[in-house]
Amino acid sequence: MPTLPSSPRRPWQPKQVPKEYVAHAARSPEYSTARWQKARKLHLSTEPCCRECTKRGRTVVATVVDHILPVRLGGGFWDTRNYQSLCKPCHARKSQSERTIQPKQS
């Protein structure tokens, strides 16, 4: 009977996700909850336009509910005052600039 290689990784398992990707995209499990879907939808209905684009005088439909203060930096996940509507490009830009910010040591 064939035996499995002693390597802890099995070929059918997905490759390890790069660390920096995890650090950034380690999405809170809350994102997959129905509660978040509801909160997101509600926020987009109250603020349908991208906040960043609005500041620049453009009207762009928002598709992303962003946490103004990232959750990993202490922002409240369920704090609706911490929400802002963004379009995808604006959200990507914001996430990119936040990537280098480290949480404060406590």
CA gap 65, 62 in Å, rounded: 8
Residue (56 or 104) nearer to Zn ion, CB: 56
Q: Would you say 32 or 46 has its CB closer to Zn ion?
A: 46
Q: How far is the CB of 4 from Zn ion (least distance, A)?
A: 49
Q: How far is CA 49 from CA 4, 40, 75, 96, in A?
A: 54, 13, 22, 21
Considering the complex, state which of residue 29 and residue 57 has its C-beta at the smaller distance from Zn ion. Answer: 57
Nearer to Zn ion, 53 or 65 (CB): 53
* Beta carbon of residue 8, minimum distance to Zn ion (angstroms, whole number): 43
Q: Nearest approach, Cβ of 54 to Zn ion (angstroms)?
A: 8
Q: What minimum distance in Å lies between the beta carbon of 58 and Zn ion? A: 7
Q: What residue type is assigned to position 23 of the chain? A: A
How are beta strands 64-67 and 83-86 bridged, if at all? antiparallel
SS3 84: strand
For residue 17, give both structure tokens: 């996700």
Which residues in this chain contact Zn ion in the complex, by CB under 5 A? 50, 52-53, 60, 87, 90
Question: Is the distance from CB of 52 to CB of 86 less than 8 angstroms?
Answer: yes
